[in-house]
Amino acid sequence: MHPPPALAVVGWSNSGKTTLLARLVPELRQRGLRVGVVKHSSHPHPLHPEGTDTARYAETGAALVAFATPAGVQLSFPEPPEHVLSLLARFADAVDLVLVEGWKHGPLPKLEVWREGLGPLLAASRPEVLAVVSESLLPEGPRRFSPDEVPGIAAFIQQCLRDGLLRAPEGP
């Protein structure tokens, strides 16, 4: 099974990635898309807090650990981040699109959220950046959206889906 179409939403810390995604997911859902979201971090983060039952299960080498509550189920797999695409392939029939927050150096097409003064514009050196979301005027390059243009960004993502631009490469 192939991974579902995916788009990485990248940018420097505090550029507005989470805020954009929190506004974009409902817009895409309203348009009929089933959207999955993955948070990618280059910093260590405990998936299971020390001393919890799930931490003990993870320490045993379980192939997956689930935490189920009335609010939902959280699954974790002891896989390195570069395997996320092959993991997502398992859920390809459950989502139409996966949005990945972060993963600047990953193999996915990208939507850059850029705020002046936080770091250089990634789109200037990365051809996989399809568009930039920014308040600032940018030099010539990929398409630019204002952070308030959520319907326009959603329409752009839908067009990229139709054009086959969001096909995820096969993972390891």
Query: In the predicted model, what is the mean pLDDT of residues 139-168?
Result: 92
Show the DSSP H helices in 8-95 as ranges. Answer: 17-30, 53-59, 84-89
| Higher local confidence (pLDDT), 97 or 61 | 97
Provide, rounded to the nearest whole percent, the portion of the chain with pLDDT above 70.
95
Q: Residue 76's pLDDT is what? A: 82
Global pTM reads: 0.87
Q: What is the pLDDT of residues 129-146, one digit of tens each?
A: 999 999 988 777 789 999
pLDDT of residue 159 exceeding 80:
yes
Query: In the predicted model, what is the mean pLDDT of residues 21-27?
Result: 97
Q: Residue 66's pLDDT is what? A: 85
Query: Hey, what are 36's tokens?
Result: 């999955």
**Fold (CATH) for 6-44+79-162:** Rossmann fold (3.40.50)
Lowest mean pLDDT among 20-24, 87-91, 100-104, 125-129: 87-91
pLDDT of residue 31 exceeding 90:
yes
pLDDT of residue 42 exceeding 60:
yes
| Higher local confidence (pLDDT), 166 or 85 | 166
DSSP bridge pairs for 38: 100
CB 88 within 8 A of CB 98: yes
Give me the count of residues in the chain.
Answer: 172
CB 108 within 8 A of CB 8: yes
Q: Residue 152's pLDDT is what? A: 97
Separation CA 100–CA 38 (nearest Å): 5
Band (pLDDT 50/70/90 cuts) for residue 170 is: low
Task: Identify which of 116, 123, 109, 93 has the alpha carbon closest to the alpha carbon of residue 156.
Answer: 109
Helix axis angle, 17-30 to 150-162, nearest 10°: 70
DSSP bridge pairs for 145: 133
pLDDT of residue 40 exceeding 90:
no
Q: Residue 45's pLDDT is what? A: 65
